[in-house]
């Protein structure tokens, strides 16, 4: 219990994503931790708490760890390459990783000594003054302070500065993870999937989270995983129609995988689906053009749906 949370504090603001439970607790719905709090209690992230019978954020406008980084430090692919990014985080985190490099921020309980006061507008102006093309919410999972982050993003937008959120994974029991465009034509090249499956199993979710992919597994994979789904997404397979939040049912006994969508919705989504751009030259382009669907066995002729051979022959 804590008695230091009050909406009278200028850094404490009401939040939207929570609901009441029958047992009179209040559940925070921001992240998979789903903290169920009595009055005065803080969530695992420490910065969200129950006060005045609602969930509040206690770190609005309190930030820490300001640093100008090359954007290449962020886990992004070709995002404003060569530019500088202004990084910051806040106290608290919804994770408890033993190897955390930012534990002095993410596990801090010392808001006042650690955090600087910075309004969204102050951060946006600082980024512009420092020549940063973007601002990154990082060091801890920004979903826990998203009310603040959203306002910072809006202020940055006014100054033509982009924002980046370095979030934690959000996979919890009962989820079905879908990874597509990792098949021989869509990848292309059948990248190793073991790191993904190992991460799921390593989180202790091997029995309660399933993985579906049009990519390939090697023999070392274990857990509730199904790969080689065909046709793969880039060839118009149904896996391309799946979106976040869809309900997927895997019935092992009847050997079926179903998504809770009607045929018209699937057709509409497939018609609107745009796969990521294919390589146009080199060995991967050649491979993607030649390879066939796993459902059709071994093929040796060029396939029409992706990376067709240009006039004059295949790229070399």
Binding interface with ligand SF4 (CB under 6 A): 28, 30-31, 33-35, 43-45, 48, 94, 144
Q: How far is the CB of 314 from ligand SF4 (least distance, A)?
A: 51
Q: How far is the CB of 41 from ligand SF4 (least distance, A)?
A: 9
CA distance 164 to 144: 15
Alpha-carbon torsion angle 286, 287, 292, 293, nearest 10? -130
CA distance 150 to 80: 21
Q: Which is nearer to ligand SF4, 34 or 299 (CB)?
A: 34
CA distance 165 to 285: 32
State the helix-helix crossing angle for 146-158 and 120-129, rounded to 10 degrees: 50
Q: Which is nearer to ligand SF4, 31 or 136 (CB)?
A: 31
Q: How far is the CB of 120 from ligand SF4 (least distance, A)?
A: 20
Chain residue at closest Cβ approach to ligand SF4 = 43
CA distance 100 to 105: 10
Q: How far is the CB of 36 from ligand SF4 (least distance, A)?
A: 9
Q: Taking Cα atoms as reference points, which of 46, 244, 19 lies closest to residue 145?
A: 46
- Taken in order 4, 6, 10, 14, the sign of the CA dihedral is positive
Q: How far is the CB of 45 from ligand SF4 (least distance, A)?
A: 3
Q: Which is nearer to ligand SF4, 57 or 127 (CB)?
A: 57
Q: How far is the CB of 61 from ligand SF4 (least distance, A)?
A: 18
Q: How far is the CB of 115 from ligand SF4 (least distance, A)?
A: 17
Q: Which is nearer to ligand SF4, 27 or 87 (CB)?
A: 27
Q: Which is nearer to ligand SF4, 21 or 283 (CB)?
A: 21
Residues 6+ apart with CB under 8 A from 239: 178, 180, 212, 214, 229, 232, 233
- Tokens at residue 194, please? 């073991």
Q: How far is the CB of 30 from ligand SF4 (least distance, A)?
A: 4
Task: List the beta bridge partners of residue 63.
Answer: 116
Q: How far is the CB of 83 from ligand SF4 (least distance, A)?
A: 30
Q: Which is nearer to ligand SF4, 28 or 291 (CB)?
A: 28
CA distance 262 to 269: 11
C-alpha gyration radius of the chain: 23
**Per-residue 3-state assignment (H helix, E strand, C coil) for 239-291:** HHHCCCCCCEEEECCCCEEEECCCHHHHHHHHHHCCCCCCCCCHHHHHHHHHC
Q: Which is nearer to ligand SF4, 147 or 151 (CB)?
A: 147
Instruction: Please identify which residue in the block is written with the tokens 């009607």.
Output: 262
Longest dimension (CA), the chain: 76
Q: Which is nearer to ligand SF4, 44 or 305 (CB)?
A: 44
Q: Which is nearer to ligand SF4, 35 or 71 (CB)?
A: 35
């Amino acid at each position: 219990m804590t008695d230091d949370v009050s909406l009278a504090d200028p850094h404490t603001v009401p939040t939207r994503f929570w609901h009441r439970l029958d047992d009179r607790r209040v559940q925070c719905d921001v992240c998979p931790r789903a903290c169920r709090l009595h009055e005065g209690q803080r969530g695992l992230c420490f910065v969200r708490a129950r006060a005045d019978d609602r969930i509040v954020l206690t770190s609005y406008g309190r930030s820490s760890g300001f640093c100008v980084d090359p954007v290449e430090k962020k886990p992004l692919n070709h995002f404003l390459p060569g530019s500088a990014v202004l990084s910051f985080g806040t106290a608290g985190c919804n994770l408890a990783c033993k190897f955390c490099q930012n534990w002095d921020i993410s596990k801090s309980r010392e808001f006042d000594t650690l955090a600087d006061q910075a309004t969204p507008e102050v951060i946006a102006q600082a980024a512009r003054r420092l020549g940063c093309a973007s601002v990154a919410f990082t060091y801890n999972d920004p979903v826990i302070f998203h009310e603040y982050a959203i306002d910072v993003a809006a202020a940055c937008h006014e100054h033509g500065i982009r924002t980046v959120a370095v979030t934690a994974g959000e996979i919890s029991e009962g989820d079905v993870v879908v990874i597509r465009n990792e098949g021989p034509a869509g990848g292309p090249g059948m990248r190793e999937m073991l790191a993904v499956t190992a991460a799921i199993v390593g989180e202790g979710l091997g029995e309660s989270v399933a993985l579906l992919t049009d990519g390939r597994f090697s023999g070392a994979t274990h857990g509730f995983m199904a790969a080689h789904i065909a046709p793969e997404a880039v060839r118009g397979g149904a896996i391309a129609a799946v979106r976040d939040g869809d309900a997927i049912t895997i019935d092992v006994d009847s050997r079926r995988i179903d998504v809770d969508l009607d045929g018209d919705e699937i057709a509409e989504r497939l018609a609107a689906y745009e796969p990521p751009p294919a390589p146009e030259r080199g060995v991967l382009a050649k491979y993607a053009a030649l390879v066939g669907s796993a459902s059709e066995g071994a093929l040796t002729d060029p396939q029409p749906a992706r990376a067709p051979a240009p006039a004059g022959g295949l790229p070399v």
